[in-house]
Amino acid sequence: MPASRLYPIFAELAGRRVLVAGGGQVAERKVAALLEAGADVHVGAPAFSRNLGLWADQGRICLISGEFEPSWLDGAWLVIAATSDSAVNAAVAAAAARERIWCNVVDDAQRSSFQVPAVIDRSPLVVAVSTGGAAPVLARLVREQIERLLDPSLGALAALADRWRARIRGRLADLGRRRRFLEKVLQGRVAEFVRRGQIAIAESALEQELAAAEKSTAQGSVVLVGAGPGDAGLLTLRGLRALNEADVILHDRLVSREVLALARRDAELIEVAKEAGTHHTTQAGIHALLLEHARAGRRVVRLKGGDPFVFGRGGEELEFLQQHGIAFEVVPGITAALACAAYSGIPLTHRDHAQSVRLVTAHCRESLDTLDWQALAAERQTLVFYMGVAGLERIRAHLLAHGRAGATPVALVENGSRTEQRVVLGALDELPQLAAQHAVKSPALLIVGEVAALGGCLHWFGAAPLGPVLPAPLARAA
Ligand code: SAH
């Protein structure tokens, strides 16, 4: 089994020669499917089933009698080896490979250079399912599930869209507008009429919608979406819908590949990395991009790691959009503090140890030094520092200077919720050494407070925590 995955294609076989080697039931089934695709089918075998003989008499296929010879392949675009003799099938596959003709050996993925998928047929809509020969039964089960999902009228709907394609293209020249129009039509009342078999009514409804779409001057919009910390399972359903409807997606570097993979295939993906220190120029650049795409009538998704309103500058972007009259929506995301806490088994609040939690940004020296350290050093609370890897020494110094105990548990969570997550546990007074010793890198989050020690026993995700073994936190006397 090749390690790489198969490249799916749909082949146009009308009028093209296809050789089927074999004359039995299996060959017959393959021939029937090829005839439906309009192929010029040649069947080679020493003997033929009754149906194959019949089809040859009707002039629908061509028979070649005898033992396999490589010359059978002459002029063929595809070959299917469907004999009951594996040596013959192997010879057919070898000859096809020499001629560079795609060959499928029935039930033999190893010898095949292409696979025939299980198919859900709503022609012209066709859904193909394949496991690359790894588990044909699974492919069939999936096909059955999809069969139930797809209404039989979808074929008629696809045919209707095809009949109107040129007209729609002529009247809605802009690709984005056309796409939005079709999305509406294919899910709205036009589809409903088709489902009821009322094709003529569906066509007039389509004409009405098209006239309305021509007149409307569509205004674009921006959805500010929180992508969560990495694990795509933590994206909200609403966020997923926005990704599916987007024409353009402007995303940060923090957004994981898994989340981006959920975006609509033909959405334009633009990475807008913001380097530390050059925030201002690039933030203006991001504003300009948002404006440009929204003004062109596109649906823009501004996708940010975690939550857009937690250290994400989402507020600034919305203020800008509002000043320019662009409509917007906000979809929250799971912020790094919540995700890192959950995925490292560190409850941010706990009846025995912490009654409040603070999210703090520590991205530069000046912002660190101006924090209210007196309040931050208070007991019975949990602190979560974002962007803190470079500032650990100062965080420790400030907290110790304001009375927080050196033995206070801390946790560093790197790449929280991702498969490469690492958690380092330790005590506040050794914080910078811990980070250096384990080479903690960005993106990482710092959690300070008694609850951090619980990560030693409640961890459940990924690798076990690193760092010295901490004593379990003492429960408060009842
Ligand atoms: N809006 C984001 C935060 C952006 S600031 C949110 O709500 O999560 C960037 C900082 O977030 C990083 O420097 C890091 O401290 C933290 N962060 C984001 N994703 C993280 C992850 N998967 N693991 C650990 N920290 C993360």
Q: Ligand 1, atom 6: nearest CA belongs to which residue?
A: 306
Q: Which of 108, 274, 352, 429 is catalytic?
A: 274
Classify residue 145: in a domain, yes or no: no
Helices 175-187 & 154-171 angle (0-180, nearest 10): 150
Distance CA 62, CA 80 (A): 15
CATH of the domain at 360: 3.30.950.10
Q: Are residues 190 and 298 in the same domain?
A: no
How far does residue 392's CA lie from ligand 1's centre (Å)?
16
Query: DSSP alpha helices (H): ranges in 59-188?
Result: 86-99, 136-149, 154-171, 175-187
In a domain, 368, yes or no: yes
In a domain, 10, yes or no: no
DSSP secondary structure letters along 236-300 = -HHHHHHHHH-SEEEE-TTS-HHHHTTS-TTSEEEE----TT-HHHHHHHHHHHHHHHHHTT-EE
Name all residues whose Cβ lies below 6 A of ligand 1: 229-230, 254, 304-307, 310-312, 335-336, 340, 386-387, 413, 415-418, 442-445
Flag whether 135 is in a domain.
no
Residue 2 inside a domain? The answer is: no
Looking at the CA of residue 361, tell me the nearest atom of ligand 1: 5
Let me know if 441 is a catalytic residue.
no
Q: Which conformational region is residue 292 in: left (phi greater than 0), alpha (psi within -120 to 50 degrees), or beta?
A: alpha
Task: Check whether residue 341 and residue 452 sit in a common domain.
Answer: yes
Residue 124 lies in a domain: no
Q: Please report, for the domain that includes residue 49, its CATH number.
A: 3.40.50.720
What is the DSSP secondary structure assignment for residue 466, as one 8-state letter? B
Ligand 1 site-directed mutation target among 317, 386, 417, most atoms within 8 Å of CB: 386
pLDDT along the chain (478 residues), means of 10: 78 97 96 96 97 97 97 98 97 98 94 93 93 88 93 94 95 85 89 94 94 78 95 95 92 92 89 59 85 89 96 93 94 97 97 96 80 95 90 95 97 96 97 95 96 96 85 53
SS3 assignment, position 327: strand
Q: Is residue 442 part of a domain?
A: yes
Domain co-membership, 441 together with 350: yes
Count how many domains the chain has.
Answer: 4
d(CA 340, CA 413): 6
Pocket of ligand 1, candidates 236, 254, 340, 364: which has the most ligand atoms within 8 Å of its Cβ, to mutate? 254
Nearest CA to ligand 1 atom 2: 306
| Tens digit of each residue's pLDDT (9 = 90 or more) over 78-103 | 999 999 999 999 999 999 999 999 99
pTM of the model: 0.65
Domain boundary among 215, 238, 262: 215
* Together in a domain, 348 and 327: no
Kindly state whether residues 324 and 226 are assigned to the same domain. yes
Q: Is residue 350 part of a domain?
A: yes
The domain boundary, picked from 305, 334, 363, lies at 334
Same domain for 342 and 447?
A: yes
Within this chain, do residues 347 and 433 fall inside the same structural domain, yes or no? yes
Domain that residue 30 falls in:
17-116
Residue 252 among the catalytic residues: yes
From 282, 301, 334, give the residue that closes a domain.
334
Which domain CATH number covers 296?
A: 3.40.1010.10
pLDDT digits (tens, 9 = 90+) for 55-83: 999 999 999 999 999 999 999 999 999 99
- Ligand 1 binding pocket mutation candidate from 302, 445, 447, 448 (most atoms within 8 A of CB): 445
Point out the ligand 1 atom lying closest to the alpha carbon of residue 421: 23
